[in-house]
Structures are given as C-alpha cells and as structure tokens.
C-alpha cells in the first residue's frame, strides 16, 4: 500500500470556507500524539524511514448535532523512504495495537529509542475521493494535507495529479508543497534554536 500525500501551509479558516462551498463532508476531528523511534541497526534520518507509535483520540458527531463519546486507539506504523520527488508518497505498513504503552516497551526492549514526539489537532474531510486534513501542529502552525492510498507504484502519478487538483480547488498552490515530515520540520526548528 502506498500513501499519496501532498501538504502545504495554509490558513484553516479560508480552507474550511472553500470545503463547505465544494461540498466537502466532515469526517471527524482527532488529536494525535506520534512518538518516533530511532533504530539500533540503522539511521532512519539517513534512510528516510520512520517508525512510530501513534496515540489517537477521535472526536466525532454521530448525526452532526449530538456528540458521541471519544474513541481512543493506537497504531504502530513503518514509513518507507519517499518513492518520488513530486510528493510525500511512501510505502506505509500500519497496524492497530491494543496497548500503546506495551508497544513502546516492546520497542524499547528491542533497542528502539524514542527520538521525538509530534502532537497535532486534525480535522478530516472527504472530498472527491480524497481525505483533506487540516492540521494544527504544536510548534509549527497550520497545514493542509490531501491524501489517498493506492495499491501500487503504477497508480501514484495519477493519484498525485488528482491531489494537486484538489489543492487547486481549495485555492491552494501545489507549488507550495512541503515534502518534509512534521517530525523533520520540528527537528529542523530545534536545530535553529
């Protein structure tokens, strides 16, 4: 499975207005806390890979009016190196884990050390077969991601081009795309301080 993703910095209020005009369907709002790990056997920063445990709390409305209870879960994710220069597309392997603390303990026992944590508030919308996510990332600001999943590399280019069209429909410029992960952006911020 490949995650085809394009991300740009953007003002959320303007994008929300445009999503409403285009008929974007609200999906949910979530809080995510991603803990990234360093590997004992190779340097992920050099290989452009990532391993993380994500803790997510989903806040959703059952009928658009009556709030439902928050749902919390955790995932273990491996992200491979970028597969093209035009987007943040990469191979992704993900599984839900029952106990995020046990997953962290397991990784620690194998020599994987926590490297950094990224915290963000996300609003997700469905539009034209894509997920449009408005991200407010602690320490970085506001971004918009447009993403989808495809089975193989042969489908990446057409999915990316369609994601660019969604960005344009939202009044955003694909030329402003940031291919660096939030983790990379945060680490760069820390290096500048």
Q: Is 103 helix (H, G, I), strand (E, B) or coil?
A: helix
Q: Pick the catalytic residue from 36, 37, 164, 182.
A: 36
CA distances for 109 relative to 40, 52, 99, angstroms: 11, 15, 15
C-alpha span between 45 and 68 (Å, rounded): 39
Q: Is 151 helix (H, G, I), strand (E, B) or coil?
A: coil
Residue 72: strand pairing partners: 57
C-alpha span between 115 and 105 (Å, rounded): 14
Residue with tokens 């992704």: 92
Residue with tokens 């997510």: 56
| Of 131, 142, 135, 140, nearest in space to 167 by CA | 131
| Of 51, 57, 56, 58, nearest in space to 106 by CA | 51
C-alpha span between 39 and 107 (Å, rounded): 9
36: annotated active-site residue? yes
For the record, the structure tokens of 109 come out as 């026992």
Catalytic residues: 36
């Amino acid at each position: 499975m490949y995650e085809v993703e394009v991300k740009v910095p953007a003002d959320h209020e303007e994008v929300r207005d445009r999503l409403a005009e285009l008929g974007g369907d609200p999906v949910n709002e979530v809080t995510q806390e991603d803990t990234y790990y360093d590997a004992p056997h190779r340097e992920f920063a050099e290989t452009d890979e990532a391993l993380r445990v994500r803790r997510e709390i989903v806040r959703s409305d059952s009928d658009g009016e009556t709030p439902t209870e928050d749902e919390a879960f955790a995932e273990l994710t491996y992200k491979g190196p970028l597969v093209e220069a035009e987007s943040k597309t990469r191979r992704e392997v993900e599984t839900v884990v029952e106990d995020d603390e046990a997953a962290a303990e397991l990784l620690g026992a194998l020599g994987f050390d926590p490297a950094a944590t990224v915290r963000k508030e996300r609003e997700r919308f469905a539009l034209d077969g894509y997920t449009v996510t408005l991200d407010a990332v602690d320490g970085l600001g506001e971004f918009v991601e447009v993403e989808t999943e495809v089975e193989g590399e042969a489908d990446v280019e057409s999915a990316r081009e369609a994601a660019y069209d969604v960005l344009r429909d939202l009044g955003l410029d694909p030329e402003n795309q940031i291919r660096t992960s939030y983790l990379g952006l945060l680490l760069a911020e820390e290096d500048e301080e």
